[in-house]
Structure 1
Amino acid sequence: MAHRGHSRTAAVLGVLLLACACGADGTGTSVAPEESGTPGRESTEQETQGTGSVEPGDPGTPVDVATGLEVPWGVDFLPDGSALVAQRDSAEVAHVAADGTVTGAGEVEGVVPGGEGGLLGLAVDPAFPDEPYVYVYYTAASDNRISRIEYEPDAVELGEAEVILDGLPKAGNHNGGRIAFGPDDLLYVGTGDAAQGTLAQDTDSPAGKILRITGEGEPAEGNPFDNRVYSYGHRNVQGLAWDDDGRLYATEFGADAFDEVNLIEPGANYGWPEVEGPGGGDEFTDPLVTWSPSEASPSGAAIAGDALWVAALRGERLWRIPLDGEGGLGEPEAHFEGDHGRLRTVVVAPGGDALWLTTSNLDGRGSPEDGDDRILRVPLE
């Protein structure tokens, strides 16, 4: 296993970043000691990633795009190839240019960081700039909520904000937080059970669910329970990604035995808290892939080429899981184990020839190094 470290020279980094440019998750924080697992182990960003323009195999060597960030959680790209990044503990959104230049775009009002809560997911409106909105999922004083915020690209500045959905239960952990626009241009929302497992089985509660809503926060037409709920029985959804055929895959923190990747079907029950992992019976949908929590605590997910890529927090690695083209998944392959610490979010860079991968070493569970937290660019070869 390689040791974590960044001993590149400035000259080499500059060349690599230039090449990149040309190619183009208040109060003080208190945390439980681990990720996946019962409270006392952590449970815990655009994550709507379509298949890229290349067919990648093994990832190449990661290089820094940006450093000095404060728990970068949600990431999504603007039409010009730059990205907006939600920083969990500072409640600030950063603009990151393709060459790594970081500019503050503003602070999201009403965020109350603490535990696993704070400024979490971020998604850019698919019709941007005609619909000049950025959506953020965050922990407020009494709940988790989603706001739609005007973004002014010329000024690199957040504008007026509107809360479009509130009342999502909050807790010190299991806050969910991932949001992403699907191929249907609707907003999908991964929520946690707020450490109250029974809520996940209640289809009238938004906790422990994947929600599907309009850009105004209303239930999407055709949802299976005539409300915002799309699927249920989830413990803490952390990643959302679609393949070319519109299939939705979601990553989820388990408790003591199994972390999961699930293929999401409308109205399906994924078992929590009645069952963890596979084998719960016909009324529950089994996961496609499971790991032990020490291997994963799977967070962000993205699809590029013929694979689902999953960032692992406690597992400190990037998982590549082959797609079989029919909704199934192959054997997961681990990359960069222990090299960069905790990995939170993975997104496909514009053009599809690279991933952007965020670390989460400042979240209270990691071992930060100089420059953390950072965004890494991972070429797909």
Structure 2
Amino acid sequence: MLARFSIFVVAFSLIQQIQTAGVCQDWIATNDPDLVIEPIIRDIPFATSLTFSPDGRLFVLAKNSGNVRTLDLETRSLSTPVIKIKPVVAGIEAGAIGLAFDPDYDPIDGGKVYVSHVVSSATWRISSFDEDGNGKGSNLRTVLDFPDCLPVDGFFDQSVHNIENIHFGPNPVSSTPEQVLYVSFGDGGILPGGVDRENNPALTPDNWCGGIYFFDPANPPEIADATPHNFCLGVRNAYDFAFHPQSGALYFTENGFNDYDEVNQALYGDHFGWDESRGPNENPAFVDPIFTQALPTIAPTGLCIYSGIRLPNRYQNH
């Protein structure tokens, strides 16, 4: 069993309301005097995923339009769309959300790329397309459709706590080196302690809701067969997650209901207790977060674990 340990988390949110367009000249200070953040570009239309391809290109997914583009880090400019993901139904949080490259993607010949997106008021989807290695996408196709957790009775509506991010990671039920596709799902938008609580889909593993799931996209499961594919449950709304490059442990961000935002480490089979538990708890059935922000809420979104060589050593694998 993997030991639980804390990590330094870089959480970010790309906000559409930024007005200044073009290449940025300003710098953003941090709480580390040796580290500053340099904005690269401000006119990305509501980006929800920034993903490097195996050959080092940076792909950007736009939430509302579904456009996939590449960002040239030298010219600091966006390409014409590689492909347009459709349909995309955009809401408060709904839209095109996650993008992941197939482990067999070839840097020269290209390969499959996967996208998570909301396609209707009652359906979430993972699609894939082919990318030729030169910025041209084709053959958009459906991999698997999922029903909205609370298509009618949700406290909010179909525009929040939907399908979230996707990443490839180690198979938790096999010792082989094969990778499977992980996907995080929100709870559909229940009201904590309210009328939806008795039907909270995050408390059971038999639906694709309120947790993190995994499957082989080359052999998609039956949609009614969610339980064998549940990695962890009891999650309100995990926008993003990442795997530690050394241990393989999974970490995810969790948005609380106006309080108790979290960062969690998840092991296979863990239960995080939403909405019976928020933040640190005394119930041994539920796993405590490794970081909690009670108030004010910070709504963490993206998460990554740094394994490069440009930052000081203290950031390595954190």
TM-score calculated relative to the size of structure 1: 0.62
What CA distance in whole angstroms lies between the structure 2 residues aligned with 1:178 and 1:352? 26
C-alpha deviation, 1:92, in angstroms: 0.8
User: Given residue 162 of structure 2, which amino acid in structure 1 is its aligned partner?
Assistant: N
Q: Which of 119, 122, 143 is the equivalent residue of 2:99?
A: 122
Q: Greater RCO between the two (CA within 8 Å, min separation 6)?
A: 1
Pairwise CA distance, 1:292: 2.6
Q: Tell me how far 1:166 sits from its aligned partner.
A: 1.0
Identify the residue that residue 167 of structure 2 maps to in structure 1: 180
String of CA shifts for 1:96-142, please: whole Å, max 9, x gaps: 12322311212101111112100101111122126701111101113
Contact conserved, 1:230 with 1:266, CA < 8 A, in 2? Answer: yes
* 1:157 aligned residue: 136
Distance 1:217 1:71, change over 3 A: farther
| Conservation of the 8 A alpha-carbon contact between 2:260 and 2:297 | no
Q: Unaligned regions of 5+ residues in structure 2, if any?
A: 1-17, 150-157, 172-178, 191-196, 312-318
Tell me the CA shift for residue 226 of structure 1.
5.2
Paired with 1:178 and 1:145, the residues of 2 have a C-alpha distance of 11
After TM superposition, give the deviation of residue 215 of structure 1 in Å.
Answer: 2.6
Q: Distance in 1 between matches of 2:170 and 2:73?
A: 25
Q: Distance in 2 between matches of 1:58 and 1:226?
A: 47
Contact persistence 1:254–1:293 (CA under 8 A): no
- 2:201 is paired with a residue whose SS is helix
How many angstroms apart in 1 are the aligned matches of 2:34 and 2:133?
31
Q: Which residue of 2 aligns with 1:101?
A: 77
Extract structure 1 runs of 4+ deviating beyond 4 A.
none
Which amino acid in the other structure matches residue 102 of structure 1? Answer: L
Counterpart of 1:227? 228
CA contact (8 A) 2:66 2:95 kept: yes
- 1:233 Cα shift? 0.6
Distance apart, 1:271 and its partner CA: 0.1
Distance 1:227 1:90, change over 3 A: same
SS of the aligned residue for 1:190 comes to strand
Contact 2:259 2:297 in 1 (8 A): no
Q: What amino acid is aligned across from residue 194 of structure 1 in structure 2? A: G
Counterpart residue identity of residue 124, structure 2: N
Q: How far did 1:145 drift?
A: 1.1
RMSD: 2.9
Q: Residues 114, 257 of structure 1: CA spacing in aligned structure 2 closer, same or farther, 3 A cutoff?
A: closer
Q: Give the 5 Å matches for 1:266-277.
A: 266-277=268-279
The alignment partner of 2:98 has SS state of: strand
Number of aligned residue pairs: give it: 258
Distance 1:97 1:280 in 2: 49
Given that 2:279 and 2:294 are in contact with CA atoms closer than 8 Å, whether structure 1 keeps it comes out as no
Partner letter of residue 167 of structure 2?
A: A
What's the CA shift for 1:218?
Answer: 2.9
TM-score by length of 2: 0.73
- Is 1:353 the equivalent of 2:306? no
Residue number in structure 2 paired with 1:39: none
Structure 1 spans left out of the alignment, 5+ residues: 17-56, 220-224, 306-350, 355-381
Choose which of 190, 194, 199 in structure 1 pairs with 2:188. Answer: 194
1:256 positional shift? 3.2
The secondary structure found in structure 2 opposite 1:257 is: coil
Aligned equivalent of 1:111, options 52, 72, 88: 88
